[in-house]
A and B are shown apart, each in its own frame.
Chain A
Amino acid sequence: MIQLKHLFKWYNVGGTRSFVLKDVSLDIAEGDFISIMGPSGSGKSTLLNIIGMLDEPDEGEYIFMDENVLEMKAKKRSQLYQSHIGYVFQAYHLLDELTVYENIETPLIYKDISSKERKAIVADMLDRFGIVGKKDLFPAQLSGGQQQIVGIARALAGSPKLLLADEPTGNLNSKQGEEIMELFKQLNDDGVTIIQVTHSEKNAEYGKRIVNMLDGQLK
């Protein structure tokens, strides 16, 4: 599904290059569940963002479902992104001005899905994650765990093939974290490819494969 070939990313700091990614190559098959681990600043989030098409490497090649992402036009890329990728953040990043329902609905609006269909999908998501009763609440009225569940529901609303999670349990207590991880495992069993970035050994164990990073390189 994904092939990363010799990715480099750097910043110029006072004339010298400071590498964030250094010759990273990685293959990810459909249905995989990968945990990326490593200390702060090792480049895991950057790698995830590049996979998620939110960031670009300075050098290297990125093939997503047999298409070269870096040579794509912006419009095509955002189409690809809209239809295949869902993103979950450590800080949830829900839209504060929108209710739970509207948060889940927004990506569907961007995909130009009809309002009838949107209703059905959102209802399905609310039901699936057990948050029907919270649909009219605003993010500030929810606990962290609940917010993250909304975040995941929003990421999955567009039925992506690939779910990217940047420390999804980082702001949660261990019980909430476990629930989220169980949820991920179940999603993976349903066929969603998952790549998560995590600090926690325990959470990493949920993945089928663990990738370690240090100073911008895979170990």
Chain B
Amino acid sequence: MIGNSLKIAWRNMAKNKLYSFIKIGGFAFGIAICILIVLYIKQETSYNKFYPAMDRIYRLVVQLPIEGKIERWVSLSAPVAPTLKAEIPSIEQTGRILPNPLFGAGSNQLSLNDNPQSFYDDGFVYVDQSILDMFPTPMVSGRLAHALDQPNTLVITKSKAEKYFKTDPIGQTIYLNNNRSKLYTITGVIEDIPQNSTLAGYSFFISLAGEPFYPGEQNQWLSNNYTVYIKLKPQVNIEQTEKEILRNYKEHYLPEYKKSGRKLNPVFEQVKINLQNALDIHLMSADIDDDKVSTLNRGDIRMVWTFATVALFILLIACINFINLSTANAATRAKEIGIRKTIGSTRALLIRQFLLEAICYSVLSLFVGLLLSCFLLPIFNNLANKSLTIPWTSLYFFPSLLVAIMFIGSLAGIYPALYLSRFKPIAALKNKTTGAKSSLFRNGLVIFQFATSIILIVSALVTNQQIRYILEKDLGFKKEQVIVLRGVGTLGNQIPSLKDELKSIPNVSSVSLGDFLPVPIDGAKRNGNPFWNEGRREIDMATQGQFWEIDQDYLATFGLQLTKGRNFDPTMATDSTAAIINQKLADDLGLKNPLGAKITNGNTWTVVGVVDNFIFESLKGKGFAGLCMVLRGYPSLLSIKVKPENLQETLNGINRVWNKFSPNQKINYSFLDEGFASLYQDVERTKNIFSCFAIVAIFVAALGLFGLATYVTQQRTKEIGVRKVLGASTLRLLKLLSGDFIKLVFVAMVIASPVAWWAMNQWLRDFNYKIDINWMYFILAGMGAILIALGTISYQTWKAIRTNPVDSLRDE
């Protein structure tokens, strides 16, 4: 029985090559996309799972309702971790990560032993030894336990060890940014951190033991720079511990706060400290703003859901192709069904046969789909910024695929099987069954396919529009033609002469020293300070703002406009306590006449200028923030504004000057606007992924429509012949045949538009600066779908219309 069915299935496939191709091709595409997305989801949900005892490891997350919105952050002060460990018995261990570039984490110039040559590298982070214990990575050499117990020790990854050292690196030393007074000794080499780890992206783990970053820093409760991890003892009540932690934190924090003489924001009453399980860190932290400082490879559970939904829908589109083609094809199968019934087949046997056939198709599709996914994987990896591989050797891989495909095959096959096996034998033999002519069910499925495609097209259009909007948005400063040189800090007191020589290069308009760039690219610094009007520190609530150290060329280099007052003048002694603030900070501090006003963040500054607000945070985040800029700094970044002419020559000039000053260090520069664009890589990725999904969806749907149109026109050949004999024009016939399909696509457009509108509004909610969704997108997507549908069916329709009616009517 099964052999017989398989034989029939195979011969049917071979006979109707085009339809077999459409069925298998569509299915295979759907399956390939699904395989890729399942791999992606598996990877996204696998974060930290390979570490032991993850059920007991948590990250501290602070939350506070600010202006009606719950704000969450992970930065806490240095003494939190040791205090909790000492004072709360249910906590087994605590550990801190300090990822902030302000303290030297992130990227640095690195020199080995006594060699003055220095190399740019990133992935520097300060950690406690206990972090390496909680997230243990196999050692290549050295001892993992106690590796970072001593001050100025460092653990590096295997690939960095291989990059910099020919011999065993243990015991060798490095120093950073030409600072020979602080040597770090390598005490361990660990395997590279897996991509699906919270620590991914870090390669240099510097010990937090030892000297504070500034006097008293380790006991400073009010300065929040550390991410804190805790390991609970087994069987500990989480909520209870959260309460204990909060109580303990307040016990220490509040007296310190009081001591500082500042006024506590009443909102602080509602502060909560939550324990976020280590397994949730990757996907459940999209709303934690400072998470991006400590986590280099962030995920978002909403993305996972979106992907899963899209995969499901593309698979459904492929299933629908199968259903539609199988039922539309009924006419050609009717005779077989009739015969089988007259020679003794029961309905159950027929259902079995058709289901088996469907499963055959799906299993074949699976193999084609697997092949396709192999080809598509590199493209997908590139799109999603992943390095996924197909787990060929995994034991579960093939069995679970087969089970899934059996299920999908049955899902796609059950309706056609029920439909076809219902035929009455005599009617079937006389070909009096209803085949491809419109059925409500089939029309519904076509509408579903096109609605899905249109939603994806709209998504692609909107994301595309948004990224263009972001990249072209007037930020209030000029990011174009600015070259950023890194690692300048190694030059020490030679920096001013470097600056002067760079300025003398033709086509260089200005040069500014400073790490606080208006674009938060790699190496650029950010902070957060409380500000008050002088003398109001103990009376007013603090105003939050950034505190940037810049030089007198900053405004010119980045094209910032002074609205009041003047630029810094280093020749004026008083300018060492001068400040230029932005309009937002002036507003927040209530300064009607800011010039000459004195403001304080601990130190007191006299406002000498006010600049217009400009966007220096991500367009995704909040609006303008307050900003106070002062004249000083020990920078590692140097920004050069150049003229667009003869760019190559200008670059050569910069290169020459650099090599003269710093022969031991390779020049490392980038363009500010490129850095800006790379900040929105995730948006760019979302756009690309949606575009690809939209293309696949519309392709698979069009494939199905093509098959359907073929059947329908075949069925209507006689009708067309009669109409032609009666004198119908080609145009009229074209309208007649296409009209039905176009109507369906039109209905799909009507259904899809509100769904797409809603979905895209959800997505845009993340952006503070965003486009308005234009109704043109829906028209465009709908017209696109209609055009594609028309193009798809026109060939078949045209062929049918061109047939000589003498031929199509002859069989009467």
A residues with a Cβ closer than 8 A to B are: 49, 52, 54-55, 74-75, 78, 81-82, 87, 89, 91, 93-98, 102, 105-107, 109-111, 154-155, 158
Contact = CB atoms under 8 A, between A and B. Distances in A.
Contacts of B651: none
A216 B550 CA distance: 106
B264 interface: no
A87 B342 contact: yes
A158 B344 contact: yes
A75 B344 CA distance: 11
Contact of B426 (A55, A75, A82, A158): A55
B349 to A, nearest CB: 6
Contacts of A87: 342-343
Contact of B344 (A93, A95, A96, A111): A111
Given A109-B1, A109-B4, 17 more contacts: A49-B426, A52-B342, A54-B342, A54-B425, A55-B424, A78-B346, A87-B343, A93-B338, A93-B339, A94-B339, A95-B8, A97-B336, A98-B7, A106-B4, A106-B340, A107-B343, A110-B345
B343 A97 contact: no
B12 interface: yes
A113 to B, nearest CB: 11
25 contacts: A52-B342, A54-B425, A54-B426, A55-B424, A55-B426, A78-B344, A78-B346, A81-B344, A87-B342, A93-B335, A93-B338, A93-B339, A94-B339, A95-B8, A95-B336, A97-B15, A105-B4, A106-B4, A106-B340, A109-B1, A110-B340, A110-B344, A110-B346, A110-B349, A158-B344
B429 A89 contact: yes
Contacts of A96: 336
Contacts of B1: 109
Contact of A102 (B7, B342, B347): B7
Contacts of B425: 54
Contacts of B687: none
A95 B340 contact: yes
B442 interface: no
B341 interface: yes
Contacts of B349: 110
Given A49-B426, A110-B345, A95 B7 contact: no
A91 B157 CA distance: 79
B11 interface: yes
Nearest to A78: B346
A110 B340 CA distance: 9
A45 to B, nearest CB: 8
Nearest to A83: B344
Contacts of B340: 95, 106, 110
Contacts of B4: 102, 105-106, 109
A154 B343 contact: yes
A54 to B, nearest CB: 5
Contacts of A106: 4, 340, 343
Nearest to B2: A109
Nearest to B4: A109
Contacts of A81: 344
A93 B342 CA distance: 10
Interface string B705-741: 0000000000000000000000000000000000000
A161 B727 CA distance: 56
Given A54-B425, A89-B429, A110 B343 contact: yes
A93 B426 contact: no
Interface of B: 1, 4, 7-8, 11-12, 15, 335-336, 338-347, 349, 424-426, 429
B341 A54 contact: yes
A110 B1 CA distance: 8
A45 B426 CA distance: 10
A103 to B, nearest CB: 9
A168 to B, nearest CB: 14
Contact of A98 (B8, B346, B347, B426): B8
Nearest to A82: B344
Contacts of B7: 97-98, 102
A111 B344 CA distance: 7
Nearest to B5: A109
A9 to B, nearest CB: 12
A97 B8 contact: yes
A91 B434 CA distance: 21
Contacts of A55: 424, 426
A96 B337 CA distance: 12
B426 A97 contact: no
Given A78-B344, A102-B4, A95 B339 contact: yes
Contacts of B346: 74-75, 78, 110
A75 B348 CA distance: 10
A154 B1 CA distance: 17
A74 B421 CA distance: 14
A118 to B, nearest CB: 10
B287 to A, nearest CB: 60
Contacts of B341: 54
Contacts of B424: 54-55
A193 to B, nearest CB: 18
The 5 closest A-B pairs by CB, nearest first: A97-B11, A82-B344, A110-B344, A107-B343, A93-B339
A159 B340 CA distance: 17
The listed residue with most A CB atoms (<10 A of its CB), out of B338, B341, B343, is B343
Nearest to A88: B342
Contacts of A94: 339
A89 B8 CA distance: 22
Contacts of A97: 7-8, 11-12, 15, 336
A123 B345 CA distance: 22
Nearest to B11: A97
Given A82-B344, A107-B344, A109-B1, A93 B429 contact: yes
A181 to B, nearest CB: 22
A217 to B, nearest CB: 21
A89 B429 CA distance: 10
Contacts of A95: 8, 336, 339-340
Contacts of A105: 4
B361 to A, nearest CB: 16
A111 B7 CA distance: 19
A94 B339 CA distance: 7
A35 to B, nearest CB: 21
Contacts of B336: 95-97
B101 to A, nearest CB: 71
Contacts of A155: 343
Contacts of B345: 110
Nearest to B425: A54
A155 B344 CA distance: 10
Contacts of B339: 93-95
B351 to A, nearest CB: 13
Nearest to A45: B426
Nearest to A164: B342
A139 to B, nearest CB: 11
Nearest to A52: B342
A125 B339 CA distance: 19
Nearest to B336: A95
A93 B336 CA distance: 8
B429 to A, nearest CB: 6
A96 B4 CA distance: 14
A82 B341 CA distance: 10
Nearest to A158: B344
A49 B342 CA distance: 10
A74 B336 CA distance: 20
